[in-house]
Chains A and B, each alone.
Chain A
């Protein structure tokens, strides 16, 4: 007889299979410890006694899965997070982008959009006009939130500090309006952004990119899926195109490493040879 803790693991694997069969969302290559924590969180949130009860809802309640999806992925993100890496991008990547008449950028796993706002502001201040940002996420609810660019005003002091550290030229408050506890960033910042749901575990290349930014997404994937994603990025980048990752992610041990030059090892910026 298994303990209830071990039974939890069995239920987790069954739920992953149920989600795959019913909704074609593939979590099989997601790190289990994080999924387990997300599910424990979801049990409390939806007030159900077991993962099996969640599975029942996933299979039989029409609108339940999108709600659960919000709990299965980690959406921690900040405006101007890791400012040093943005500063490095301005110095090392922007001059390259400026050599093209028009630019395509992919933000993979854009979550609730803070990174899109960050990059849009920096591109604007650097004088870029002709560019498209493809912002993708597996969760349509995240894309919906990202397209509104409304954030809690609690984020602002930290964001203002990091905006300066990243090399922001003006004042951050030029870009948003405040109302109660929220700020809304100017819709003008998102006019070159195309939102699309895209799964890094099952979907394929959709355009040729000059820059791909994928931060703190790969840490939740097992090696095999990490490799899939790296190959997907490799197939999507033009020669000379750049890939940037989160501060604790690296291209170094991947199967495509030899095809890239390290532009900034500390800030995880790589250029396709």
Chain B
């Protein structure tokens, strides 16, 4: 039940308002053979999850909606189903839940980030992007406290800077990047 059993590294991404176009710029940059990506973006809970089809054709990673109990595999981007929290488990699997909203959000970025921090510890990376609320700040802090890496979007570059800004108020991220810098960094991941 320790991080040692999880051979791959995980990147957790949180985005809210302005997030779709931000994700278009960074998700296609993933090409490393050893990473998996988990994504929470705040969207209305009704209707089908269009994100996998929206991003699928432009990414070299496989893009899919996360399912409860499935094993996390490298070179895959898992998107939280609308209306459900998404978590990474110490056993190397994903889980979804309809627990109460956190920060008025379900899925909540804090829930994803904190689960990733506990399950992957030093092998976790958190990326917090544009958004008009405070979700994700606490979770990013936890990733940092558990030894993981943290990146936030440059406030001038973010369509809505409130979310990355609230993280920077309570913790010191390892890097503050524009989306372009972030994409370059992601392309360099091994």
List the interface of chain A (C-beta within 8 A of B). Answer: 3, 5-6, 9, 13, 31-34, 36-38, 74, 76, 216, 218-223, 226, 248-250, 253
- Asked whether, in the complex, the Cβ of B91 is within 8 Å of the Cβ of A222, the reply is yes
B residues 138-154 near A (Cβ < 8 Å) are: 142, 145-146
- Asked whether, in the complex, the Cβ of B146 is within 8 Å of the Cβ of A3, the reply is yes
B residues 11-55 near A (Cβ < 8 Å) are: none
- Asked whether, in the complex, the Cβ of A248 is within 8 Å of the Cβ of B88, the reply is no
Report how far A181 CA is from B125 CA in the complex, Å: 46
Asked whether B87 is an interface residue with its Cβ less than 8 Å from the other chain, the reply is: yes
The number of inter-chain residue pairs (CB within 8 angstroms) is: 77
- Asked whether, in the complex, the Cβ of B67 is within 8 Å of the Cβ of A34, the reply is no
- Asked whether, in the complex, the Cβ of A5 is within 8 Å of the Cβ of B146, the reply is yes
CB distance from B15 to the nearest CB of A (A): 20
CB distance from B130 to the nearest CB of A (A): 25
Residues of B within 8 A of A218 (CB): 68-69
Report how far A218 CA is from B68 CA in the complex, Å: 8
Residues of B within 8 A of A250 (CB): 67
Report how far A125 CA is from B119 CA in the complex, Å: 48
Report how far A182 CA is from B67 CA in the complex, Å: 36
Q: Known pairs A32-B91, A33-B89, A37-B114; list 17 more (Cβ under 8 Å).
A: A3-B145, A3-B146, A6-B146, A13-B1, A32-B89, A33-B97, A33-B111, A34-B95, A34-B97, A36-B114, A216-B98, A218-B69, A219-B95, A219-B98, A226-B69, A248-B81, A250-B67
- Asked whether, in the complex, the Cβ of B142 is within 8 Å of the Cβ of A5, the reply is yes
List the interface of chain B (C-beta within 8 A of A). Answer: 1, 67-70, 81, 84, 87-91, 93, 95-100, 111, 114-115, 117-119, 142, 145-146
CB distance from A230 to the nearest CB of B (A): 11
CB distance from A45 to the nearest CB of B (A): 13
Residues of B within 8 A of A32 (CB): 1, 89-91, 118-119
CB distance from B36 to the nearest CB of A (A): 16
- Asked whether, in the complex, the Cβ of A31 is within 8 Å of the Cβ of B97, the reply is yes
Report how far A220 CA is from B95 CA in the complex, Å: 7
- Asked whether, in the complex, the Cβ of B98 is within 8 Å of the Cβ of A76, the reply is yes
Report how far A32 CA is from B116 CA in the complex, Å: 11
CB distance from B102 to the nearest CB of A (A): 9
Binding site secondary structure of chain A? helix
CB distance from A80 to the nearest CB of B (A): 15
Q: Which of B67, B70, B88, B95 has the most CB of A within 10 A?
A: B95
Nearest 3 interchain pairs by C-beta: A33-B87, A33-B115, A31-B95
Of chain B, the residue at the smallest CB distance from A78 is: B98
Report how far A9 CA is from B93 CA in the complex, Å: 17
Report how far A9 CA is from B90 CA in the complex, Å: 10
Residues of A within 8 A of B95 (CB): 31, 33-34, 219-220
Report how far A32 CA is from B87 CA in the complex, Å: 9
Residues of A within 8 A of B81 (CB): 248
Q: Which of B68, B90, B95 has the most CB of A within 10 A?
A: B68
Residues of A within 8 A of B114 (CB): 33, 36-37
CB distance from A14 to the nearest CB of B (A): 13
Known: A222-B91, A248-B81, A248-B84. A5 touches B96 (CB 8 A): no
CB distance from A256 to the nearest CB of B (A): 15
Known: A37-B111, A219-B68, A222-B89. A76 touches B118 (CB 8 A): no
Q: List 18 A-B contacts (CB under 8 A).
A: A5-B117, A31-B68, A31-B95, A33-B87, A33-B114, A34-B95, A74-B97, A74-B98, A74-B99, A76-B100, A218-B69, A219-B69, A219-B96, A220-B97, A222-B89, A248-B67, A248-B96, A253-B70
Of chain B, the residue at the smallest CB distance from A254 is: B69
- Asked whether, in the complex, the Cβ of A222 is within 8 Å of the Cβ of B96, the reply is no
